[in-house]
Amino acid sequence: MKIAIDMIGTSLGSGTKTYNLNFCEYINNYIIKDRIFIFITRDYLKKINVSKNENVNYIIKPSLLNNIFLRIIWMQLILPFELKFLGINQLFSPMNMGPIFLKLFNIKFILALHSNLPWVFFSKMPGNIVRNYLTKFLMELSIYACDKLIVDSIFAKNEITKLLKIEKKKIFPIYLGVDKKYLDNKKNEIYIENFEYKNYILSVLSCVKYHNILNLLKGFKLLKKEKNIKLRFIFVLQILDKDYFNQIKNFISNNLNNDEIIFFHNLDNKYLINLYRNANLYVFSSYCEVFGLTTLEAMSQGCPVLISNRSALAEINSNAADYFDPDNEHEIKDAMYKSLNDTEHRKKMIKRGNDYFKIFDWDKTVSETMKVITY
């Protein structure tokens, strides 16, 4: 059997990038009997551990295809003919969308969807309206067109079934893994210059409304005012909604001291290990996640985790985290205070997290994914 994997456009989303880079890394541990053709741009080929397996072939495309519009044209109009020319039997796209007319070429199509319910949120996302609606439209068509759909959680499977009326037997939930760099307990020497690694709460988020940063800050304001907690709040942000970020900055200016809140924008992942490792608490306030990998990363570094009780977060984190109602700033405040000050509870949560995150293994993710692709 000949299998193609489309990884063109890996730079277009941080979650997809994490998935693809780990998939390419861990596929080297998988016994490959089929011929694999990986479509990838030259810039991302440099970032992966290239497989030495003679059955894995890389088809290098220009980095221009990282542009969403050029990628869509190539994917829909050119890729199907390339696949037919190569004699491909099955295409796996971990890119949230794929060629929607592959049935005309007698090629099976397996899609992996990692986005946070795009049919709900993309039309409301900031930025280019045409791009957002086109992306949403093609994602929906790809979900209907694919033969099998891989998602990151049972929650995602149930939501897709409910919202798009897709048959459950077509959908395969496969959990993600924790990146191997978080599994090494050796001292990490990669630090942010002039940053003091103590006395802070941490949150790694995208700046979009459904990540609920304003309510989190309202809870933090109450924590500072009522409990007299002397901590800073550190946000590692990818700013997608500039208007929402301006609302956040205005709230801080009117309610908190500027030195109590620190933003790191688009921070390289190599700096996250020590941020997690030295934080007093990791808090994640999102309304909607189909997985939420950062909570497990925080657990891996011995940081207690406090998260929203919505969407897939409880499914993924189980009893290794504490939870709050993301609409209730007083509950957020009380939950933060308990996680910070109840010594015995903190010890229990740190131990639970350290034991729990290890079940999320990339070898297992790739193995289960290849079974879906090849059978």
One-character DSSP codes across 71-101? HHHIIIIIHHHHHHHHT-SEEEE-SS---TT
Domains of the chain: 2-177+362-374 (3.40.50.2000), 181-359 (3.40.50.2000)
Rounded to 10 degrees, what is the CA torsion of 312, 314, 318, 323?
A: 150
CA distance 171 to 148: 6
Three-state DSSP state, 345: helix
Per-residue pLDDT of the chain (375 residues; tens, 9 = 90+): 999 999 997 765 567 888 888 898 888 888 788 899 999 988 888 888 788 888 999 999 998 888 889 999 999 999 999 999 999 999 999 988 999 999 999 999 999 998 776 445 444 556 667 877 888 889 999 999 999 999 999 999 999 998 888 999 999 999 999 988 787 766 777 899 999 999 999 999 989 888 999 999 999 999 999 988 889 999 999 888 899 999 999 999 999 998 999 999 988 888 999 999 999 999 999 998 999 999 999 999 999 999 999 999 999 999 999 999 999 999 999 999 999 999 999 999 999 999 999 999 999 999 999 999 988
pLDDT of residue 13: 54
DSSP of 273-333, one letter per residue? HHHHHH-SEEEE--S--S--HHHHHHHHTT--EEEESSTTHHHHHGGGSEEE-TT-HHHHH
Which residues, 6+ apart, have CB-to-CB distance to 152 below 8 Å? 113, 114, 173, 174, 175, 176, 290, 291, 312
pLDDT of residue 122: 47
pLDDT of residue 119: 46
* Token representation of residue 13: 């989303």
pLDDT of residue 185: 66
